[in-house]
Amino acid sequence: MNPSVYVVLPVFNRLEETKKFVSCMQRQLYPNFQVVICDDGSTDGTGEYLKSLGGNIVVVEGTGDLWWAGGINRCIEYVLDHATDDALVITINNDVELEADYISQKVNRSFEYSDAVIGSLCVYQSDHDIIETSGLVMNFTTCSAKSLVALGTKRSGLDYSGCIPVTHLPGKGVLVPLKVYKQIGIYDAEQLPHYHADTDFTLRAYERGYAVLVDFDSIVYSDVNRGNLISGQDITLSSVLKTFEEKRGVNDFSAYRAFARKHFGQRAWQFLLVSYAKIFLGLSRRYFISKIDVFRFARGAG
C-alpha cells in the first residue's frame, strides 16, 4: 500500500537552495509522491527553473506577498482539490537536504501511528551531530513552552529514539494526514503570516485530540537560519534587534500575541511574559557568550 504523498513548500528566490532540494526529491525511493511548490514572485529565475521541470513537480503561483503561511496554504489548497482522503502531506523548506528514503520512512511511521502528526529531527547540514530543532512541549498550567531538545544539543548524546510525544512542532519536515487539514483548517496566514504559523497549526491539532510526535529517526539536514542567532555565531546588538522585526523576526510581538490569544485566551498576558522573559534571557546569554568567545580568540591570536 502506497498512499499518495504531497511534499509542499513555498519558495521565494534562493534558486541554488531550490535546485539542491529538487535534487533530493528526484532521488527519493518512494513511488507515489508529488511535490507542490508555491513560487511567491521569485525574481532570480526560480520560477522559470521550476516550470521547466515537469514530472511530479507542480508549481502554483503566489501573489508576491504571501510569506510562509500564505505560500504553504496555496499548496495545501491544491492538495485538497486534487487528493483523495487517505493522502498524506509533508511540509518542508527548500533549504534542507534529505536522504533518499526520507519519504518512505515517513510513510512507514504513518502506518505505525495512524492519523498522527509526525515531525522530524532537524540537524545542521554542517554538522549532523548538532540538533537545530525537534519538538516543543507546552505546559498549559504555567503558560510556558520549552523545546524537547535544546538547540545545539549533540545528537550522539541523546537517549531518544523513535517517536516521542510533544504538543507542537516546527514545520520543517512534518507529516500531516490530509484529514487533519479538513478537520481543523489550514495555516493562519492572517494573524501568523510567517513565524509561528507552523507551531500554531500543530498545537491546534494537539488540542483537537491528534497525536503530535517528533520522530528521532526521521532526519532533516538543515541549512540553519542564522537570523535566529545560532550557537557559535558572532552576535551583534543589531542582529538581536532584527529578531523582533515585523514578520521576518522570529520574536515578532504581533505574532506571539496572536499565538497567545488563540491558545490561552484571557491568560495570554501570562504566556507573553513568560515567553519574552525566556527570549531576553536567552538572547542576552548568547550575546555575552559570543563576546567572550571573540575576546578569547583575540587573546589567543595575540
The predicted model gives 208-213 an average pLDDT of 98
Output the CA angle 41-42-48, nearest 5 degrees: 105
Q: How confident is the model at residue 207 (pLDDT cuts 50, 70, 90)?
A: very high
Amino acid at 1: M
Q: How confident is the model at residue 278 (pLDDT cuts 50, 70, 90)?
A: confident
The predicted model gives 269-280 an average pLDDT of 89
The rounded mean pLDDT for the chain is: 88
Output the CA angle 207-5-103, nearest 5 degrees: 95
Instruction: Say if residue 196's pLDDT is above 70.
Output: yes
Q: What is the pLDDT of residue 54?
A: 83
Is residue 25 classed exposed, middle or buried when 0-12, 13-18 and 19+ CB atoms within 10 A define those classes? buried
Q: Which residues contact residue 297 at a Cβ distance below 8 angstroms, ignoring those fewer than 6 apart? A: none
Say if residues 130 and 149 touch (Cβ distance below 8 Å).
no
Say if residues 245 and 255 touch (Cβ distance below 8 Å).
no
Instruction: Say if residue 291's pLDDT is above 90.
Output: no
Q: How confident is the model at residue 171 (pLDDT cuts 50, 70, 90)?
A: very high
Domains of the chain: 5-224 (3.90.550.60), 226-302 (no CATH)
Q: What is the rounded end-to-end Cα distance, in angstroms, of the chain?
A: 64
Share of the chain above pLDDT 90, in %: 72
Q: What is the pLDDT of residue 252?
A: 83
Q: What is the pLDDT of residues 26-36, one digit of tens each?
A: 999 999 999 99
Q: What is the pLDDT of residue 281?
A: 77
State how far the Cα of 133 lies from the Cα of 152, in Å rounded to an integer.
Answer: 9
Instruction: Say if residue 24's pLDDT is above 70.
Output: yes
Would you say the pTM of this structure is higher than 0.85? yes
State how far the Cα of 206 lies from the Cα of 186, in Å rounded to an integer.
Answer: 14
State how far the Cα of 71 lies from the Cα of 103, in Å rounded to an integer.
Answer: 22
Instruction: Say if residue 147's pLDDT is above 50.
Output: yes
Instruction: Supply the DSSP symbol for 130.
Output: B
Q: What is the pLDDT of residue 230?
A: 45
Torsion of CA 53, 18, 6, 127, to 10 degrees: 140
The predicted model gives 92-113 an average pLDDT of 97
